[in-house]
Amino acid sequence: MGSHIIIDRRHVRAQQIAALFSSIISRHVPELPNDRMRDLMREIQDQLWADGAHFITEGDRIGAGLPPRNIYGLTVDELRAIEARFLAEMLRPMQPVWLGMDFGKEPGGA
């Protein structure tokens, strides 16, 4: 039997995301002591790992053979489906609006 090697990508991703958060937090809160920052990052990393938080990068998408996303995070097929729904709504005939008024009579008249 061959050995099975399992790469813990979930742990690596949690570390990567926590490192990203750490760099952002340290830029905005430079006075945070190192031990507090370490504890904060450890807690964030543990929570990301526990929740299974994961970023899918464009490199991940290309590696998986998935279509690229545009700047709004949509693939061409997703954008096409959304636009088709909007277009169908715009082309749907408008419902008549009835205000309950008789336009043949003078206002206030009998």
Q: 38 lies in which domain range?
A: 7-55
pLDDT tens string 52-64: 777 777 888 888 8
To the nearest 10 degrees (0 to 180), the angle between helices 9-28 and 34-51 is 140
Residue 82 is assigned to a structural domain of this protein: no
Residue 1 has pLDDT above 60, yes or no: no
51 falls within a domain: yes
- In this predicted structure, the answer to whether residue 108 has a pLDDT above a threshold of 90 is no
Task: Report the domain count for the chain.
Answer: 1
Q: Which of 19, 101, 84 is nearest to 55 (CA)?
A: 19
In angstroms, rounded to a whole number, what is the distance separating the alpha carbons of residues 85 and 91? 10
User: Quick check: is 63 in a domain?
Assistant: no
Residue 2 within a domain: no
Contacts 24+ apart (CB under 8 A), 77-80: none
In this prediction, residue 100 has a pLDDT band, given cuts at 50, 70 and 90, of low
| Residue 102 is assigned to a structural domain of this protein | no
What's the pLDDT score for residue 53?
77
Q: Report the chain's mean pLDDT, rounded to a whole number.
A: 83
Has residue 20 been placed in a domain?
A: yes
Q: Which pLDDT score is estimated for 54? A: 74
Say if CB 20 and CB 53 are below 8 A apart: no
Asked, for residue 27, whether it belongs to a domain, the answer is yes
Per residue in 11-27, pLDDT (tens digit) is 888 888 889 899 999 99
